Structure 1
Amino acid sequence: MPKEIALTTARLARDVPAAEIRIDDALIAMSSLMTSVVTARRDTVGVPATKGHAAIRRLMQAQMALVDVSGAVMRVHGELVAIGRETAGYDLHECPKIAQGDSIPLASAA
């Protein structure tokens, strides 16, 4: 296998799972934010239920956009695996479980 293909494969094997993890982290952060916003609206005395509704809808749309991004990246991942099989003759049965890059778990970042 040419060195260029090996380097490209190694880079993709690191970067694709890392991107998937970061998208999941963003989804978790958005879910936490949604919880905080709805809780604040509910627990603030004198605030009618209609207040903050537009912000909650926007947060929901942002979450859905992240879900769409997640699906798109998963499809790209599958396409890259297929290209690897066709181009480099890899017999890939499963992808790396997790990228060991510089991602920080959300709980430790707080």
Structure 2
Amino acid sequence: MPNSIEDTTTRLSREVPTAEFKIDDALVAISILMTSVVTAKRDTPDVPAARGQATIRRLAKAQAALIDASGDVLRVHGDLLSIGREVAGYDLHECPRVAGHVAPLQAVA
């Protein structure tokens, strides 16, 4: 049985920001790990400097992949907003999560 547009919109309005948040969390975790690895490489005198370089490059590659994924999910978010306008006639200028925190134009004037 197909979902109604409202049900689908409600589900997506929860899932898209959750995905964005989790990618950001992963990016923070990789950044913290990168800091720890570089610090360990610098502060461990018995290990040759070149020894940890491959690990650092792999972490940088993972970090870049997360940045790319974040950009792609943000584009998906924009695509879904456009689809909502076209299909459901929603007049959304911001995603629902952000729009709730913006003062209405009447309150500003």
Q: Is the shorter-chain TM-score for this pair beyond 0.5, marking a shared fold?
A: yes
Measure, in 1, the Cα distance between the counterparts of 2:62 and 2:95.
29
Q: Does 1:68 align with 2:68?
A: yes
1:49-97 deviation digits (Å, cap 9, x = unpaired): 1011001000000000000100110110000000000000000021133
In the alignment, structure 2 segments of 5+ residues that lack a partner are 99-109
1:6-42 deviation digits (Å, cap 9, x = unpaired): 0000000000001000000000000000000011111
Letter of the 1:28 partner, please give it. Answer: V
Larger Rg over CA atoms: 2
Give 3-state SS (helix, strand or coil) of 1:92's partner.
coil
- Number of the residue aligned with 1:10: 10
Measure, in 1, the Cα distance between the counterparts of 2:97 and 2:69.
20
Measure, in 2, the Cα distance between the counterparts of 1:92 and 1:63.
32
* Cα pair 1:17 1:96 within 8 Å, conserved: no
Matches within 5 A, 1:9-48: 9-48=9-48
Computed over aligned residues only, the root mean square deviation of the Cα atoms, in angstroms, reads 1.2
In the alignment, structure 1 segments of 5+ residues that lack a partner are 99-110
Residue 45 of structure 1 deviates from its aligned partner by 2.0
Measure, in 1, the Cα distance between the counterparts of 2:29 and 2:14.
23
Q: Per chain length, whose mean CA-contact separation is higher, i.e. which structure has more relative contact order (CA < 8 Å, sep 6+)?
A: 1
Matched positions, count: 96
* Cα pair 2:41 2:47 within 8 Å, conserved: yes
* Cα pair 2:13 2:97 within 8 Å, conserved: no
- Number of the residue aligned with 2:83: 83
Measure, in 1, the Cα distance between the counterparts of 2:54 and 2:45.
19
Identity rate, percent: 66
